[in-house]
Structure formats: structure tokens, C-alpha cells
């Protein structure tokens, strides 16, 4: 597929990304804070959420809140936790991922980390284990992202899921199967090989089946909910699962 400019779809998306980066630089250069400039660029009705360590702030657009479960009359408790709750838990965890752990609450950098030396050592070891479970996981046959690039998003996902599982445990008659189906429908997606290689291979977010399946198989509660056994496609032994936050 090509466009009037002669670019194919991947080229057009790349051009649009470059253009939005220029717009962002322009807004920040004219005095808008980075957070506000990003929110301005996305616009209130686009769905997005992000954490900025320099301001220790979670930013979430109205579009994301609306899409992820503002209308409680149409959403089950499970859906709200799996969609909106998961995103909020993910963004909070960014404050304590490999990058966030070096920023204090006022946004100042602490090269040694904001937790004790012993905790930093344990934290570092757990991040290495987290990278290992994402290592060589293929989004498409023969195509795997580098977990050294995706590690902060991987860890934010495990934190977001753990947060919501704790809240789910406090509910009576919580439908865990529905909850995990809603998590999966929010994270899973499909893509062509060309678009993945040109636009997503080096993205900091793990993509599609990897983002969804690695996260869920790592959860003991997910394993128990579906009663997976050794040999099942989504089985993961408890001794290879990691819990950071
Ligand atoms: Zn994130």
C-alpha cells in the first residue's frame, strides 16, 4: 500500500512520528512543561497514559479514562480493574522500575537509587530474572524484542497486574477468569511482519502475544485460576516466576 506522498504505510507512520517529535520540541521550547506538552500533543480524546520521573507524575488523558472504564454502569468490577486499574498500577510501578528507582519524589536523580544498598542489589537481581523470562519470546516467528530495551515496561506490567490482583482478592465473588480475559484483550494485538520490524521491534513496550502471555504466565494466581499443568501452552513453574513489587 502506498500513499500520495509515495511512502508505504510504515514510512508514513515513521514520518508522522518524526513530525510529532518536532511538535513536542516546539511546545517545550515555548515554555510548556514536558508533561503538559505531551498531553497537548495527544489531545484529551486520544487514549494514552504515561509516567514522567522528573515530575514524579502519572498523566492520563480523558480519552483513556473514558475508554478504560469511566462509565461504571456498563463495566463490571473485573473490567474496571483489568483496564483502568491495570493502567494506573502500571504507571505507578514506573516510579519504581529500573529508571524510576533512581529518581526521588521531587524528580532529582540519585545514581545510587532511592532504596537501600541491599534492596538495590536484590532489585537488580530480580530485574535480571525478569529479563530472562522475556528473553527470546517471539512476537512473530523468528522475531523477538530485546528485553534489555523492554525491561521497564515489563516490570511496570507485572506491578500493574500484582496491584489489581491484590484488589481483586478483596472482592467477594470476583470472576478471575473474566478479569484475566479482560487483561488479555487489553494487551494482545496483531501486526504484520513489516510493520513490526519497522515500527515496533525496538519499542520499549513488549508487543502483542509476548506482552500478554509472558505477563500472565508469570502470575501464580493466573496459573491457579485456569489450573494449568506442565505441558500446557501457558504453564510456567512457580520456581521460575518472579515477583518484584
Ligand atoms: Zn509504561
What would the pLDDT profile of 98-125 be if each residue is shown by its tens digit? 999 999 989 899 999 999 999 999 999 9
pLDDT of residue 55: 86
Ligand 1 geometric centre to CA of 156 (Å): 6
Which residues does the chain have with pLDDT short of 50?
A: 1-2
pLDDT of residue 141: 95
Ligand 1 geometric centre to CA of 90 (Å): 6
Dump pLDDT digits (tens) for 167-194.
Answer: 999 999 999 999 999 999 999 999 999 9
Q: Which of 168, 156, 102, 170 is nearest to 127 (CA)?
A: 156
Ligand 1 geometric centre to CA of 93 (Å): 8
pLDDT of residue 18: 61
Ligand 1 geometric centre to CA of 193 (Å): 23
Ligand 1 geometric centre to CA of 94 (Å): 7
- Helical pair 147-169 and 208-217, crossing angle rounded to 10 deg: 50
CA distance linking residue 80 with residue 148, whole number of Å: 31
Alpha helices in 48-116 (DSSP H): 62-69, 77-80, 86-94
DSSP category for residue 196: I
pLDDT of residue 40: 67
Tell me the C-alpha to C-alpha distance, in Å, between residue 236 and each of 136, 148, 166: 16, 22, 20
Ligand 1 geometric centre to CA of 228 (Å): 28
Amino acid at each position: 500500500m502506498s500513499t500520495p506522498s509515495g511512502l508505504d504505510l510504515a514510512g508514513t507512520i515513521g514520518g508522522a512520528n518524526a513530525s510529532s517529535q518536532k511538535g513536542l520540541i516546539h511546545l517545550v521550547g515555548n515554555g510548556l512543561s514536558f508533561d503538559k506538552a505531551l498531553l497537548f500533543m495527544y489531545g484529551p480524546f486520544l487514549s494514552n497514559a504515561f509516567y514522567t520521573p522528573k515530575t514524579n507524575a502519572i498523566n492520563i488523558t480523558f480519552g483513556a479514562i473514558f475508554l478504560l472504564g469511566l462509565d461504571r454502569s456498563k463495566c463490571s468490577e473485573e473490567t474496571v480493574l483489568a483496564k483502568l486499574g491495570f493502567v494506573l498500577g502500571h504507571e505507578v510501578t514506573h516510579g519504581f522500575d529500573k529508571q524510576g528507582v533512581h529518581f526521588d519524589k521531587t524528580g532529582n536523580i540519585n545514581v545510587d537509587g532511592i532504596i537501600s544498598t541491599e534492596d538495590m542489589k536484590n532489585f537488580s537481581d530480580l530485574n535480571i530474572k525478569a529479563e530472562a523470562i522475556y528473553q527470546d519470546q517471539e512476537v512473530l516467528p523468528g522475531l523477538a524484542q530485546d528485553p534489555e530495551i523492554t525491561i521497564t515496561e515489563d516490570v511496570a506490567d507485572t506491578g500493574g497486574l500484582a496491584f489489581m490482583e491484590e484488589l481483586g482478592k478483596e472482592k467477594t465473588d470476583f470472576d478471575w477468569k473474566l478479569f484475566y480475559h479482560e487483561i488479555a484483550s487489553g494487551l494482545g494485538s496483531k501486526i504484520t511482519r513489516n510493520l513490526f520490524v519497522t515500527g515496533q521491534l525496538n519499542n520499549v513496550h513488549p508487543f502483542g502475544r509476548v506482552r500478554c502471555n509472558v505477563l500472565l504466565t508469570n502470575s501464580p494466581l493466573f496459573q491457579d485460576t485456569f489450573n494449568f499443568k506442565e505441558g500446557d501452552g501457558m504453564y510456567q513453574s512457580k520456581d521460575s516466576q518472579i515477583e518484584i513489587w
